């Protein structure tokens, strides 16, 4: 819709059921191309977790990598104080009611963003460094919305969101145009026509207009994803031990590492494991799922490996690894079929 006058969008100061039918049987997985994925202790629930994480993992990574790292355009800090919202959800409720087009159903959402049942990104999340930490992280949870339409509708929706944040005096952290990147873990690249990140003391939001006409969405989409700063704080506290484990022994760790919230599971004999989304530009595969384990009675975590897809069973080649990752899915190279540790 056309941009509204400045006073129209000014407001006062004053996660989804995992339903639907998805093939999560072991036979549905391809042999690994690299190292690893992760699952929960119960085998069948772990298969479902693999798929959900896989389809969710990409959206935040692409948002961070394509929108922030490659095309960031820092802006000056807004002179007026940003409008205070009760929560990220309250902001979404204020920003979206007049957007046009068809609302896209969010099948699942968490701190990584929101996805359709087909695994396409409805909205993504920006990362932020919390409290002077060297790494950036995603929030523990998020909220957002997406709308389908033609190019004109999506462009007007995007402009309306830009106007909303300007009228509410949010700081524009970055912005850009015409970036290419995937909108799901397996999709071909789409064109992100426009994108931007906005921040206040309480909320961090990312918006985009993408041409997804060559995907199953078959349209342009406008998206907005927001997280409470308190949720970023919560996630950072949970992620500190994993950053320490990943960078152990490094005198000067990279400032460009991004971490997402971990999924924890129990092995046997008191061992535990965790999987989280990571981005590390120093690695050949910059975005991956990282696997960690913890010995019984310990508070420190140990980094094992990271990869895309299901890991070969042969990688779990010690008693400790077998105990820590007992029950998670792996690929049996000899039998050429999926199995469990």
| pLDDT-based confidence at residue 178 (cuts at 50, 70, 90) | very high
Helices (H) and strands (E) in the chain, counts: 5, 17
Coil, strand or helix: which one is 115?
Answer: strand
66-120 per-position pLDDT tens digit: 443 334 444 444 468 999 999 999 999 999 999 999 999 999 999 999 999 988 9
- Which range among 16-25, 193-202, 331-340 shows the weakest confidence by mean pLDDT? 16-25
Query: Is-contact 2 281, C-beta < 8 A?
Result: no
Q: What average pLDDT score do residues 139-143 get?
A: 97
Residue 212 burial by CB count (10 A; 0-12/13-18/19+): exposed, middle or buried? buried
| pLDDT-based confidence at residue 16 (cuts at 50, 70, 90) | very low
Mean pLDDT of the chain: 81
Distance CA 239, CA 175 (A): 27
Alpha helix positions (H), the chain: 43-62, 88-95, 151-167, 229-246, 319-324
Residue 60 burial by CB count (10 A; 0-12/13-18/19+): exposed, middle or buried? buried
| pLDDT-based confidence at residue 61 (cuts at 50, 70, 90) | very low
Q: What is the pLDDT of residue 299?
A: 95
Residue written as token pair 């639907």 = 20
Q: Whole-prediction pTM value?
A: 0.77
Residue-wise burial string across 291-321, b where 16 or more C-beta atoms lie within 10 A, e elsewhere: bbbbbeeeeebbbbebbbbbbbbebbeeebb
- Give the number of C-alpha atoms closer than 13 A to the C-alpha of residue 139, restricted to the C-beta side: 27
What are the structure tokens assigned to 154, written together? 């999506």
Q: What percent of the chain has pLDDT over 90?
A: 67
Please determine, for residue 54, whether its predicted confidence score (pLDDT) is greater than 50: no
Coil, strand or helix: which one is 332?
Answer: strand
Please determine, for residue 24, whether its predicted confidence score (pLDDT) is greater than 50: no
274-325 per-position pLDDT tens digit: 999 999 998 877 889 999 999 999 999 999 999 787 899 999 999 999 999 9
């Amino acid at each position: 819709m056309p941009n509204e006058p400045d006073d129209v969008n000014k407001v006062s100061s004053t996660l989804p059921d995992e339903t639907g039918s998805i093939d999560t049987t072991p036979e549905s997985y391809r042999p690994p191309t690299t190292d690893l994925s992760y699952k929960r202790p119960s085998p069948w629930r772990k298969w479902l977790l693999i798929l959900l994480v896989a389809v969710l993992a990409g959206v935040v990574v692409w948002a961070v990598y394509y929108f922030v790292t490659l095309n960031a355009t820092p802006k000056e800090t807004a002179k007026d104080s940003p409008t205070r919202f009760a929560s990220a959800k309250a902001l979404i409720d204020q920003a979206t009611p007049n957007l046009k087009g068809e609302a896209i159903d969010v099948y699942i959402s968490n701190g990584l963003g929101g996805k359709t049942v087909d695994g396409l990104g409805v909205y993504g999340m920006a990362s932020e460094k919390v409290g002077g930490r060297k790494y950036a992280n995603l929030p523990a949870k998020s909220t957002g919305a997406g709308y389908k339409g033609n190019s004109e509708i999506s462009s007007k929706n995007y402009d309306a969101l830009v106007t909303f944040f300007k009228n509410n005096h949010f700081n524009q952290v970055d912005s850009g145009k015409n970036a290419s990147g995937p909108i799901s873990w397996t999709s071909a690249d789409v064109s992100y026509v426009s994108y931007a990140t906005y921040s206040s003391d309480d909320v961090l939001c990312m918006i985009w207009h993408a041409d997804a006409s060559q995907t199953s969405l078959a349209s342009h989409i406008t998206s907005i994803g927001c997280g409470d700063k308190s949720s970023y704080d919560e996630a950072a506290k949970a992620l500190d031990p994993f950053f320490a484990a990943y960078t152990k022994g490094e005198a000067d760790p990279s400032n460009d590492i991004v971490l997402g919230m971990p999924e924890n599971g129990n092995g046997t004999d008191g061992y535990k494991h965790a999987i989280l989304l990571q981005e590390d530009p120093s690695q050949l595969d910059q975005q991956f799922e990282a696997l960690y384990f913890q010995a019984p009675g310990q508070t420190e975590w140990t980094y094992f490996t990271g990869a895309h897809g299901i890991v070969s069973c042969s990688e779990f080649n010690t008693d400790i690894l077998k105990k820590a990752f007992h029950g998670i899915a792996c690929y049996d190279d000899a039998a050429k079929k999926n199995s469990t540790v």
